[in-house]
Structure 1
Amino acid sequence: MLLDLTIKTYDKAIAARDIKIEPFDVNKRYTKPHRHNKYLELVYFTKGSGYHHMDLNSYQIKPPVLFVVNKEEVHHWEITTVPKGYVIIIKESFLEKTLDKHINNQFFKISKFQKIDILQKDSTLNKLFKILTKEIKSPNTPIEVIEGMLKSLLAKILLYTDITKESNVNTEDKVSQFVDLLGQILKNNVSYYANQLNVSSQNLNQLCKKKQGKTASQIIAIYMVQEIKRLLIYTDKSVGEIAYELDFKDVSHFVKYFKRHTELTPMQFKNSLKQ
């Protein structure tokens, strides 16, 4: 489905950091429909009332509540009382650069939700938002500390989603198990994961398509491209060494695969970082 090109696209991703957290702007109680083209946004309300309109859905704001706004998702606010809360902006580049694969898994799971209800008396979650805000605003905070705090916050949020409850008690949640496996062992092979989960490749693709809107092959590609980018950014390994490490049959296939998903060869991507 083509998006209405008249919908305004905002790009807060020009900020210096790859992740940003701010108090919710009380001046944005009423906004026009818009979308974000380079980042994912988490909006946590502790106070306020009104509605959040997301694509074809409208949600009543009943704090404490968290909204997840994915890239390209059209949304707007209609807030009737003074709101209080936090907004976290996560750029695509943050997910590409992070060395902690568990964070990618957490965001992948959270991104399937638009609204997550929070228990009334969760003081821990409020403290995590406050601490993360303080650490991100400090120019001397190492990225490892920020990633650690973010991972704790996301883990806490996931406790309120069905996806965590299902993965703990329902062994039939193959998609969650598939995503967890991707974070542990990365192979460009749907059959490998299907065998690990005791389902057919076709069935795994269908389950992923139904739950995530992407086939298993497409989900693997997201993880694979992110891993390739990490290795190109953070190591001195040659293109051939990376291709071998990730089990590509030859360098030519590896280069074509990366270019198909990024429109750049591995070396073009690596050289672009130096500009």
Structure 2
Amino acid sequence: MEILHTTNEEPFVSGTGHFAGWENRLMKLEDTAILFCREGHAHIMIDLQEYELAPNTQVVLLPDTIVNFTNISPDFTISYIAFSRILFQEVTARLDLSFFRFLKENPCVTLPEERTRSINGLASGIEDLYHDRDNCFRQQILKNYIQSFLLDIYDKTHRLFLMKRPEGISRQEELFKRFIQLVHKHCTTQREVSFYANKLFITPRYLSTVIQNVTNTTAKSIIDKHVILEIKVLLKSTNLSVQEISNQLCFPDQSFFGRYFKKHTGLSPLQYRNQN
């Protein structure tokens, strides 16, 4: 997804276009990206959760998010803004951690028409600034724009979420959310339920019960799905050898790594890498 990739010389990109070429391209983002669907439809998988994109659907993708687009319609049109991890850290340095947690848990939302006007105005301003390369205050204006843009997105999304959210949230649902956050953070090195239970100060048995109650699946299967997704990204988007990927993800050896991957996908790592 090179179009969403920034450089040291140009820490942000912005534009609007048709993106049929994005279909079935599994990618882990290095930067922050905000997408806004203008026309058409598509599905997007964000860290194993699937969402439908339609006009006025807004997507916020934080660094290290894994995404994949499917079922893209011929008229699918997206406005996009992407900015580097460093720039994102600079403009969000004073924001509360709940801001990031909320966007991570709610990356995709379809806004009512009347709530898109201010966001559209800010997005247009950022796109104009992107092309105004002679502006000597471009970087400072950009930081102000992006901070305003993110805060406006947070406000619109948060209010909409509060309107739709059921009253209260159970302790088990809260534990599940914290479990998922930990899996996102540690799955590349930790694959045992006991590790996550210890982080949550509960027993592995209780964690397994909670996950089964909330999701009707097991904690181990959720961990494994995230690990497999990370492996697929490394196989498809890097030139790392199978041995190097095995080492990077802390498997004991390449043989165990290959058996683990084949158990969950039916393919060897090289078969997956070489398939279309």
Q: Normalization by structure 2: what TM-score?
A: 0.51
Distance 1:42 1:99 in 2: 15
In the alignment, which of 10, 26, 44 is matched to residue 52 of structure 1? Answer: 44
The one-letter code of the counterpart of 1:133 is: E
Matching residue of 1:18 = 11
The one-letter code of the counterpart of 2:138 is: P
Matched, 1:112 2:105: yes
Number of aligned positions between the proteins: 177
1:153: how far off?
1.5
Matching residue of 1:160 = 156
Moved over 6 A (4+): 8-11, 205-208
Distance 2:38 2:2 in 1: 27
**Structure 1 residues 130 and 38: CA distance shift in structure 2, 3 A:** same
Which aligned pairs between 1:141-156 and structure 2 lie closer than 5 A? 141-156=137-152
**Structure 1 residues 11 and 155: CA distance shift in structure 2, 3 A:** closer
Matched, 1:94 2:87: yes
**Structure 1 residues 37 and 66: CA distance shift in structure 2, 3 A:** closer
Distance 1:89 1:16 in 2: 14
Unaligned runs of at least 5 residues, structure 2:
163-167, 186-195, 200-276
The one-letter code of the counterpart of 2:178 is: K
Matched, 1:80 2:80: no
Unaligned runs of at least 5 residues, structure 1:
1-7, 167-171, 174-204, 219-275
The answer as to whether partners of 2:34 and 2:58 remain within 8 angstroms in 1 is yes
Which aligned pairs between 1:171-182 and structure 2 lie closer than 5 A? none
The answer as to whether partners of 1:10 and 1:35 remain within 8 angstroms in 2 is no
- Encode CA deviations 1:201-250: one digit per residue, 9 max, x unaligned: xxxx96983574369xx9xxxxxxxxxxxxxxxxxxxxxxxxxxxxxxxx
The answer as to whether partners of 1:50 and 1:81 remain within 8 angstroms in 2 is no
Alignment RMSD = 4.0
Distance 1:63 1:27 in 2: 15
The answer as to whether partners of 1:22 and 1:133 remain within 8 angstroms in 2 is yes
In the alignment, which of 115, 121, 129 is matched to residue 127 of structure 1? Answer: 121
Q: Normalization by structure 1: what TM-score?
A: 0.51
1:107: how far off?
4.7
